[in-house]
Structure 1
């Protein structure tokens, strides 16, 4: 059997308790994905030096700011760089990322007002992955990711 493809996965989607609330976002279908690939678990926020739990943060212009007004851009950028390094080192062509996150959100993120309003855009890590050619999928797109993995293996 040929080697399973590596896929970068937001650690919270795999059941790690690393969200800002110190909970997980384990998704249905992760088990199926995990047997089709070699998951490379990443939590850019933690990898960037932020604690768990931590204050929620949102993108405001070119910065990432916590709900208390603390600029955490450096931590998000550091975590994105580390997550990208690990993904590239493992040879990831795909990533499954936590939707709406200021780090991992792909397609939509919160608007920076802490009003639960979504706008089009990508989180810091999703941007880095896309810039380097890693195809990103949000958790609601797990079936499309599984199809893409099957298609690549043909």
Structure 2
């Protein structure tokens, strides 16, 4: 985990599930209360790339096959759900929507959910890859 660097006027995107929003594939959140204190100091914009990409909640779990999130963006890997259905386009669409928000809001960085095919850094998820490729700092929790 990289140390979060910020100023009180900064805007960060944050995985909505980390703030208690029930948007994960299983319809649950992955609430991380230590992050709640940031609400007093930063502007946080909650996002769920998979929902922004058009996937429902709940939805079938998915993982990247054949590479990482950058490979998905380049068409060299796929995101497959547990039924073998290719949901890559929804993940790419969601990543693009998050990237639009990041650029429009001139964010300082993104605080994303670890071990997610969208948001994770290890392995690198689709949205995390899109944000990094555009030059944004990405942190995971």
1:38 maps to what in 2?
43
1:72 maps to which residue? Answer: 87
Report the count of equivalent residues: 125
Q: What pairs with 1:99-118 in structure 2 (closer than 5 Å)?
A: 99-106=114-121, 108=122
Any conservation in 2 of the 1:93–1:133 contact (CA below 8 Å)? no
RMSD across aligned positions (CA):
1.3
- TM superposition score normalised by structure 1: 0.78
Structure 1: where are the runs of 5+ without partners? Answer: 109-120, 140-154
5+ long unaligned stretches in structure 2: 1-6, 67-76
Structure 2: distance between partners of 1:131 and 1:24: 27
Per-residue deviation, 1:90: 0.9
Give the ranges of 4+ consecutive aligned residues of structure 1 lying more than 4 Å apart after TM superposition: none
Cα drift, residue 4 of structure 1: 2.0
2:132 corresponds to which residue? 130
Task: Normalising by structure 2, report the TM-score.
Answer: 0.85
**Following the alignment from structure 2 to structure 1, what is the Cα–Cα distance between the partners of residues 124 and 41?**
26
